[in-house]
Chains A and B, each alone.
Chain A
Amino acid sequence: MSQIIYSKEVIDHFKNPHNQGVIKNPTAVGEAGNPLCGDMMKLYLKIDKKKIGGKMIDYVKDIKFETLGCAAAIATSSMITDLVKGQPLQVAAKVTKANIAESLGGLPPIKLHCSVLAIEALHDAIKKLNK
Chain B
Amino acid sequence: MKRIYFDHSATTPIDPEVLRVMLAYLKNDFGNASSLHSFGQAARAGVEAAREEVAKFLSCDPKEIIFTSGATESNNLAILGFVRRARALDPKRKIHVITSAIEHPAVFEVFRELKKEEVEVTYLPVTKSGLVRVGDVKKTIRPETVLVSIMYVNNEIGTIQPIREIGELIKKINASRGKQEKIHFHTDAVQAANFCDCRVDFLGVDMLSLSAHKIYGPKGTGILFLREGTPIYPIIFGGHQERGIRSGTENVAGIVGLGKAVELLNQKAKVKSQNLKIKKLRDKLMREILKKIPDAIFSGDPEKRIPGNASFCFKNVEGESILLMLDMEGIAVSTGSACSSGSLEPSHVLSAMGISPIVSHGSLRVTLGKNNTEEEMRRLLKVFPGIVERLRKMSPIKN
Contact = CB atoms under 8 A, between A and B. Distances in A.
Contacts of A1: 341-342
Contacts of B342: 1-2, 110
B328 A39 contact: no
B107 interface: no
A73 B395 contact: no
A40 B397 contact: yes
Contacts of A31: 396
Given A2-B342, A14-B324, A73 B318 contact: yes
Nearest to B356: A38
A86 B321 CA distance: 29
Interface in A33-61: 36-42
Interface in A55-87: 66-74
A35 B342 CA distance: 16
A89 to B, nearest CB: 22
B43 interface: no
B339 A37 contact: yes
B321 A110 contact: no
A46 to B, nearest CB: 17
Nearest to A32: B396
A14 B339 CA distance: 15
Contacts of B341: 1
B358 A66 contact: no
Interface class of chain B by DSSP: loop
A106 interface: no
Nearest to A121: B396
A45 to B, nearest CB: 14
B269 interface: no
A11 to B, nearest CB: 8
B394 A37 contact: no
B344 A68 contact: no
A51 B309 CA distance: 61
Interface string A76-102: 000000000000000000000000000
Interface residues of A, number: 27
A113 B342 CA distance: 13
A120 B321 CA distance: 21
Contacts of A38: 318, 337-339, 346, 357-358, 361
Given A14-B324, A17-B394, A36 B344 contact: yes
A70 B394 contact: no
Interface string B322-358: 0010001000000001111110101000000000011
B379 to A, nearest CB: 19
Interface string B347-383: 0000000000110010000000000000000000000
A70 B395 contact: no
Which of B328, B342, B357, B397 has most chain A Cβ within 10 Å? B342
A72 B357 CA distance: 19
B355 to A, nearest CB: 12
A52 to B, nearest CB: 32
A41 B328 CA distance: 24
B316 interface: yes
A78 B19 CA distance: 46
A14 B243 CA distance: 54
A128 to B, nearest CB: 15
B394 A71 contact: no
B288 to A, nearest CB: 25
B320 interface: yes
A31 B395 CA distance: 12
Interface of B: 316-318, 320-321, 324, 328, 337-342, 344, 346, 357-358, 361, 394-397
Given A40-B396, A68-B316, 11 more contacts: A1-B342, A36-B338, A37-B361, A38-B338, A38-B357, A66-B394, A68-B394, A68-B396, A71-B320, A73-B318, A74-B394
Which 9 pairs from chain A and chain B are nearest by CB? A2-B342, A42-B396, A70-B339, A68-B395, A66-B396, A38-B361, A70-B320, A37-B338, A37-B339
